[in-house]
Amino acid sequence: MAIQIPISFEFFPPKTPEGEQKLNQTISDLSGYHPEFFSCTYGAGGSTQDGTFKTVAHIRSLGYDAAPHLSCVGSTRDHIAQILQELKAQGVRRIVALRGDLPSGMGGTGELHHANDLVSFIREQTGDWFHIEVAAYPEYHPQARSPADDLKHFINKMNAGANSAITQYFYNADAYETFVNAVRAAGVNAPIVPGIMPITNYSQLARFSDVCGAELPRWVRLKLASFGDDRASILAFGQDVVSHLCERLIALGAPSLHFYTLNQAKPSLAIIDAL
């Protein structure tokens, strides 16, 4: 393996026995690359929450470090306090703390309104027990009132007690560099780890990017669209684009890389092997 900086991998909780089996194979394929940790997403609003903790416990039982994502939207202080105590009792030491997004039509926002409230609450309840990761948006959060406002909220979130951040995915290294420089200028020196999304499918990625506010550059969009159903060309081009992005990020001083695997090993490993 050629990569010289730490890496981590993100999963979502599988919903079926087949999905569990597939994830086990993925964990086995990725663990040979000695990730710093695996993380598992959490469904704000309830749908996959038990699956998150089950998946984290399973990965830890295999001997690897694993972090649950935990969101506060729609939840109560009591409920989150109970989750934190359970995670602590199990020996979990790392959490990805988020506001989350409630599925449309789901009622109130809960007692903790933003990720900074959740970070403060985790510190209040459990002191320094957890290493807390938070989300960062080099291309800005889609609901941000302005770049300056979003940056201010990010700094607040770090100052509330987060240890490090993982970014939303992006394909423009300049956005990452500019964001990190702005955070450093505000006096925050914590690691900001780029979130890396391998490119394996055009229409899904385009749709998802529109929703989460990540820019799929025009030239990448047009090239991907031009391949139509030619999956081999999409994969080869996507791997090329993302491995060049990773090389630039490493040159810019990225402290590590966090891969959004979508529970598949191959697309992330193809990028890592190409570095």
Compute the least distance from the CB of residue 126 to ligand FAD, in Å. Answer: 18
**Using rule CB under 6 A, residue 42 touches ligand FAD:** yes
Q: 7, 30, 44, 183: which one contacts ligand FAD (CB under 6 A)?
A: 44
H helices present in 134-230, as ranges: 147-159, 173-185, 202-212, 218-226
Q: x/- binding map, residues 55-84, to ligand FAD, per CB under 6 A?
A: --------------x-x-------------
Residue 22 CA to residue 28 CA, distance in Å, equals 10
Interface of this chain with ligand FAD, residues 114 to 133, rule: CB under 6 A: 114-116
State phi, psi for 187 to the nearest 5 degrees: 90, 10
State phi, psi for 134 to the nearest 5 degrees: -125, 170
Q: Is 75 exposed, middle or buried (0-12, 13-18, 19+ CB in 10 A)?
A: buried
Mark the segment that binds ligand FAD (CB under 6 A) among 149-157, 181-189, 219-227, 265-273: 149-157
Is 10 one of the annotated active-site residues of the chain? yes
Within 8 A by CB and 6+ apart from 219, the residues are none
Of 140 and 237, CB closest to ligand FAD:
140
Helices then strands, each counted (H, E), the chain: 10, 8
What does the binding site for ligand FAD look like in residue numbers (CB under 6 A)?
Answer: 41-42, 44, 69, 71, 96, 98-101, 114-116, 135, 141, 143-144, 149-150, 153, 157, 166, 168, 195
Active-site positions read 10
